[in-house]
A = this chain, B = another copy of it.
């Protein structure tokens, strides 16, 4: 059974993941890319190679764990957390631990062996976003969970072990540290200004224009003022909304449109880099906050975080965001 442990100084939680327990000889310098379409467990027709599906958008007449799906969600075969069991918090002397209860799911974005979202149609990306929505709505009903982190690892350098395009989610029994920090920072700004920090940011960025990559009716994509890494890009809804899962149908359409556009621009500009993206939204049981604003963060994997970044939480970024925004604005995509 995996275990959650809390660092007594930093207050951060780590998952000691016994399902993936590793001995020294298991660490390779670089894992090999694991798949071609013949052996790929995520390709249509190979449904038996994954655990049974949790949810899929299917064509009429197709059946569970068989071909005929468009987006398919399955449990991660090597889950970081386990879905069974109750929360058990206790101490070990001065330390704090909790049973490793949570959900770890894989969202297979396409039945075909595309290697990136950029190979998908606008409609397919919309369905992917609806799937994120549906899984959050469902997991929110489980009283053990406080947060669902939706994220994507694309490419070996960004931590993907299979190339077939997919996202993941992890439902957690505690609010993760990074999210708590964003909430606290936003709350502090709000208590000083009585305005949402993200709403202020969008207003200033749209007026200045120098860090704007693209925008549409509902969203703006910017290079943030203080990016951790070159070409870090945020997609933020233009209208204040604390919860990803409470957006409207037209907004999800617009999100799919801008996400696909921005990922294509990144792919063209940086020669199909590895990247991560993650959705930051309000934790469960905190509805209708005036101070927090959900958004999606994209981090192309171009530089390494080393001792200085690990030790300080400072980041050294060799590309000013204004330059990055200009390259992305000018990138021509179909």
Contact = CB atoms under 8 A, between A and B. Distances in A.
A50 interface: no
Contact of A168 (B15, B170, B308, B318): B308
A308 B149 contact: yes
A286 interface: no
A198 to B, nearest CB: 8
Nearest to A200: B94
A283 to B, nearest CB: 11
B316 A197 contact: no
Nearest to A150: B311
A286 to B, nearest CB: 16
Interface string A179-196: 101100110010000000
Q: How large is the interface on A (under 10, 10 to 19, 20 to 34, 35 or more residues)?
A: 35 or more
A227 interface: yes
Interface in A242-300: 269-271, 273, 276-280, 297, 299
Contact of A312 (B153, B179, B299, B302): B179
B304 A159 contact: yes
A292 to B, nearest CB: 9
A104 to B, nearest CB: 9
A225 B149 contact: no
A297 B9 CA distance: 13
B24 A307 contact: no
A20 B333 CA distance: 28
A204 B317 contact: no
B10 A204 contact: no
A47 to B, nearest CB: 25
Interface string A2-32: 0001111111111111101111100101000
